[in-house]
Amino acid sequence: MKINARKLALRILDEIDYSHDFSHIVINRTFSRYEVESADRRFVSQLVLGVLENRIKLDYYIRKLSEQRFSRIHHSIINILRLGLYQLEFLDKVPESAAVNESVKLAKTISERDSKFVNGILRNFVRSGKTLDLPDKKKHTVTHLSVKHCFPEWLIELWMKTYGNVFTESLIHASNLTPQLSLRVNIMKTTVESLTESFEKAGIKYKVSKLVPVGIVIEDMNHLSINQLPGYNEGHFIIQDISSMCVGYFSGAKAGQTVLDVCAAPGGKATHLAECVGVTGKVIARDNQPDKLEVIQANANRLGLDNIEVALFDAMIMDDSLVGKMDVVLVDAPCSGLGIIRRKPDIKYNRSVDDIKALEGIQEKILKVAAEYVADGGVLMYSTCTLNPAENQDIVGAFLNEDQRFELEPLSDEGYLTLFPNIHQTDGFFIAKLIKTKTR
């Protein structure tokens, strides 16, 4: 029996709201339960991710078009309306009649009254020319940007305070764009020149990153899937954003060194560092979640890296056996993830100011513990995938004020390296490189 793609999308959206799991987790979990053809998988994913990316605007439309208070509308009916409005505004290839009629059918499974309500809302939207006035930008700047770009007001206010109004609008616009696929070349198995030559033969368009010599950005995959790309089965590359590659690259890790990655999952940075230190070096990759260790090991196995030791360990607990012994220690700290919203739009709705405050204590603790593992003259790297100074500059600044053994090695004019989607076309990322110059 053929799966109804819109019905499956509704089921996923409802489950995301109830479980608060990330969309990719619920999507994969749902697809594992049903036999879904590849075309339907793509459509379902497009619907779910499209609704999540544009939810604030879609909810604004519902409030404008409905005489019924938003809080009193049945939860699933809200998701049906979001699905219908998303198709009407953003999916040109979906006929208006299909978007409306299929939404009405879904609503009928709840009640006849709800189906008439959905029909009225969607047809009114079509009659409006599928455009509704947004809040006035001059009078209500934050609300206007929130609805236009589908970002929560608290986050817009945070970034405006940090980066200013003009930069913030550019940043949130870029954070809604679909990121290009980027690969890191496994230098223990091949070279950039060899891999790109095989890409050219396969008709794949690419460019080599200007930030990281082993990074390749794919511009056109020539209709191939990732596992069909030349070199995938041979472990010649791994999928990793350029921003994430910068951590290993700027660490300066060298052949023969010993490295500790205290929060290593899913293993992109750990495997990069393993390639940097080579067969004579060693990387200890730790995480406090057993299932994530399996992912790290799987990545290491596919890349053919035997110099990684994967271990279960809590980064906030001191391991006396490693104190003062590591050439490079990496703290890729748990963070709010505000720099990767273009990959995980759910973050816009799953984070709050209180969540961030709680993370700051964890980040501070992990950094203090990790610092004890660094050998004299060694490197301590601190990174996050967020663009919130309280989790970045403030954490590192407070640490340097307290621990006089370390000095900041400048990675930019500001000392720290911050990457932005609207400037560098990467994920939003923060990196600080600290050198242990003194003993206690």
How far is it, in rounded angstroms, from Cα 160 to Cα 307?
A: 44
Q: Which amino acid is at 314?
A: D
How far is it, in rounded angstroms, from Cα 12 to Cα 23?
A: 8
Beta strands in 262-390 (DSSP E): 282-287, 308-312, 326-332, 374-384
How far is it, in rounded angstroms, from Cα 134 to Cα 94?
A: 24
The single residue of 150, 276, 335, 385 carrying the catalytic annotation is 385
Q: CA distances (Å), 141 to each of 165, 214, 367, in order?
A: 9, 42, 38
Quote helix, strand, coil % in the chain, to nearest 5: 50, 15, 35
CB 61 within 8 Å of CB 85: yes
Look up residue 375 and give its two tokens: 């050998």
Mark 199-238 as b/e (b = at least 16 C-beta within 10 Å).
beeeebebeebebbebbbbbeebeebeeeebbbbeebbbb
Using alpha carbons, select from 340, 427, 421 the residue that is nearest to residue 167. 421
How far is it, in rounded angstroms, from Cα 255 to Cα 236?
A: 19
Q: Got the DSSP string for 53-119?
A: HTHHHHHHHHHHH-SS-GGGS-HHHHHHHHHHHHHHHH-TTS-HHHHHHHHHHHHHTT-HHHHHHHH
Phi-psi group of 424: left, alpha or beta (phi > 0 → left; psi -120 to 50 → alpha; rest → beta): alpha
CA 42 from centre of chain: 20
State yes or no: is 246 an active-site residue: no
Cα Rg, the chain, nearest whole Å: 24
CB 218 within 8 Å of CB 206: yes
Look up residue 274 and give its two tokens: 């393993």
How far is it, in rounded angstroms, from Cα 364 to Cα 378?
A: 20
How far is it, in rounded angstroms, from Cα 31 to Cα 194?
A: 37
Q: Which amino acid is at 398?
A: A
CB 281 within 8 Å of CB 309: no
Q: Tell me the catalytic residues.
A: 385
